[in-house]
Amino acid sequence: MAQAVAVTLETGGVLIVEAGTGTGKTFAYLIPALQSGARIILSTGTRHLQDQLFHQDLPVVRRALKSRTTVALLKGRSNYLCQYRLAAVEQEGLLSSREQVAELRRIRRWADRTRSGDIAELATVPENSPLWPRVTSTTDNCLGQRCPHLDACFFAKARSAAQTADLLVINHHLLLADMAMKETGFAEVLPGVDAFILDEAHQLPEIAGQFFGQALSGWQLLELVRDTVVEQAKDAADFPALRQRAEALEPAVLNLRQNLGVADRRALWREAVGQPAVQEAVAGVIQALDALREALKEAAQRGKGLENCQRRSEDLAQRFSRLTDEGLNPDQVRWFETRGRSFTLTQTPLDIAPLFQGRMAAQPGAWIFTSATLAVGQDFTHFAARLGVQDYTGLRLDSPFDFAHNTLLYHPPYLPDPTVPGYTVALLEAILPVLEASQGRAFLLFTSHRALREAAQWLAGRLDYPLLTQGDAAKAALLQQFRSLGNAVLLGTASFWEGVDVRGEALSCVIIDRLPFAAPTDPVVQARIEALRQRGEQPFPCYQLPQAVIALKQGVGRLIRDVNDRGVLVLGDPRLLSKSYGRVFLDSLPPMPKTRDLAQVKAFFTPPLTTGCDPP
């Protein structure tokens, strides 16, 4: 892999590498990257992975190579303390609890000594503290060149270090936000470089869909209300009509939320907008937003904060109208999501390939895509097509771990079709003896929250091992508990399928309830399926099946994280054998011995190790 990366950095072009767990993928791109002398953007999936790469892996390789390459870390602006907003919160003094007062003091003490302003440094204020959005900035509320704190601005400093670094570590959200901004002609954030190395590249198509589209949330509208009220009190106290108009927007937004239905859901916008009550609620928001916009125009001269609110009101009004008007480009899907008291309206492109290709063409040089899960079988066609990449070199490197001796795939017999109502209970009955044999130490990964809840209820009181369920605590806390308990059973959905690393015996069994096909009722999936049909293509083999294979590989990847790890994978879904496409899943998994015999599972967990099982 290091050789292939070095050649691509030297000659340009596109390299796609699937490198299984334990191949040393990170070092295999860091070493040639640091030796190449090229200017490189290195992007990975999450902020957490970004920190790990920048603070752990990169220093090791730099030291070993005695590299003088300059490196920088850049995250999205919401990860940096905003001096202007911190000062505003301190001045307002409107904090809802003693806890927040204490947190604000901690933030101030840290603000006076931090050099990066990266909020991940301050572990004593929880990530989900309501204070963070108030003391960090968004593109909406940042004052930019008009900011009195610009010289000390942490985000501005991080951005300027990014402009000159030889190797810049970012995340996909930032990369794609930047690509999307370039599409619309906004100022550029990321520097021009010779090469891009994109790790966890399997996530790119989905993230690109979010950024090449448009979205607006009820929360953004309510934030405009809050900020206008604060700025009015500060700079336009003699203009009470401004406050009244801002406050009139709030009930209009909440009315729209209410009319989108009580339950949290994701659905096509066309389903909601057919209802007269929703149409009226939309008109109510437009009217209130227009009235506020007019008042802000009058007040904008009075202060920088009001000027910013005025600019935002224009932008939000335009976006809201665009997202709710009649005309819709057939290449896009418009949908909404409701969660608690908030909602989001979104327009997503059905095919990001032409947009992504456009950006790649504008940045010629080397493009290296890598991940542990990019291929379906031996083939990269699906991944390449989703990004519109036609000309590329593909490389697949299997995990060096000894799957033949250290793993076993168990496919329980006699389970009903997963679409019948009793499926989850039948699966749980089948896996109880497996959990006994593994003495807990298992992940149960579900494809739906409904199945997760059903399993949590059914398993309560039936297990001799601690049961941890997603939602009972934050993900990091649950994983910490899982590791320290050493015999727990953890139930999780999508967020536990990826990026979870539990090494050693604490995780000895991964059970996956169904083949992870995306729900065909999801509005984006539904629209993509319709669009493919209209183009005369078959959505199942071209889209749904390869997506599910890659998702399954991610889930399976949780089991063996280290050379000494051993474990059993249980795939419950009977379609694995009853449908012809089951073969595609099996062919994409590491070479594990397979069995349908529970006795072999028990033997696996009873030393000495027994293998040599029959294929199912």
Q: Which residues bind ligand SF4 (CB under 6 A)?
A: 82-85, 137, 142-144, 147, 149-150, 153, 155-156
Q: Considering the complex, state which of residue 82 and residue 169 has its C-beta at the smaller distance from ligand SF4.
A: 82
Q: Verify cis geometry, omega within 30 degrees of 0, for the bond prior to 608.
A: yes
Tell me how far, at minimum, the Cβ of 26 lies from ligand SF4, in Å: 31
The first and second tokens of residue 558, run together, are: 């949780």
Tell me how far, at minimum, the Cβ of 123 lies from ligand SF4, in Å: 22
Q: Considering the complex, state which of residue 152 and residue 404 has its C-beta at the smaller distance from ligand SF4.
A: 152
How far, in whole angstroms, is CA 283 from its chain's centroid?
Answer: 33
Residue pair 158/72 in contact (Cβ under 8 Å)? The answer is yes
CB proximity list for 221: less than 8 A, separation 6 or greater? 249, 253, 285, 289, 316, 320
SS3 readout for 535-564: CCCCHHHHHHHHHHHHHHHHHHCCCCCCCC
Tell me how far, at minimum, the Cβ of 85 lies from ligand SF4, in Å: 6
Q: Considering the complex, state which of residue 110 and residue 239 has its C-beta at the smaller distance from ligand SF4.
A: 110
CB proximity list for 12: less than 8 A, separation 6 or greater? 364, 365, 366
Q: Considering the complex, state which of residue 99 and residue 140 has its C-beta at the smaller distance from ligand SF4.
A: 140
Tell me how far, at minimum, the Cβ of 45 lies from ligand SF4, in Å: 25
Q: Considering the complex, state which of residue 84 and residue 605 has its C-beta at the smaller distance from ligand SF4.
A: 84
DSSP label at residue 27: H
- Per DSSP, the three-state class of 319 is helix
Whole-number Å distance between alpha carbons of 384 and 591: 25
SS3 readout for 324-392: HCCCCCCCEEEEEEEECCEEEEEEEECCCHHHHHHHHHHCCCEEEEEECCCCECCECHHHHHHHCCCCC
Tell me how far, at minimum, the Cβ of 134 lies from ligand SF4, in Å: 12
Give the residue among 193, 370, 348, 198 at the shortest CA–CA distance from 268. 348
DSSP label at residue 411: -
Tell me how far, at minimum, the Cβ of 83 lies from ligand SF4, in Å: 4
Tell me how far, at minimum, the Cβ of 157 lies from ligand SF4, in Å: 9
Tell me how far, at minimum, the Cβ of 112 lies from ligand SF4, in Å: 15
Tell me how far, at minimum, the Cβ of 387 lies from ligand SF4, in Å: 32
Residue pair 466/489 in contact (Cβ under 8 Å)? The answer is yes
Q: Considering the complex, state which of residue 154 and residue 410 has its C-beta at the smaller distance from ligand SF4.
A: 154
Whole-number Å distance between alpha carbons of 581 and 342: 40
The first and second tokens of residue 4, run together, are: 């292939």
Q: Considering the complex, state which of residue 84 and residue 497 has its C-beta at the smaller distance from ligand SF4.
A: 84
Q: Considering the complex, state which of residue 149 and residue 265 has its C-beta at the smaller distance from ligand SF4.
A: 149
| Distances from the Cα of 231 to the Cα of 141, 153, 309, angstroms | 12, 21, 9
The neighbouring-strand residues paired with 196 are 41, 367
Q: Considering the complex, state which of residue 155 and residue 482 has its C-beta at the smaller distance from ligand SF4.
A: 155
Tell me how far, at minimum, the Cβ of 84 lies from ligand SF4, in Å: 4
Whole-number Å distance between alpha carbons of 547 and 508: 26
Q: Considering the complex, state which of residue 146 and residue 450 has its C-beta at the smaller distance from ligand SF4.
A: 146
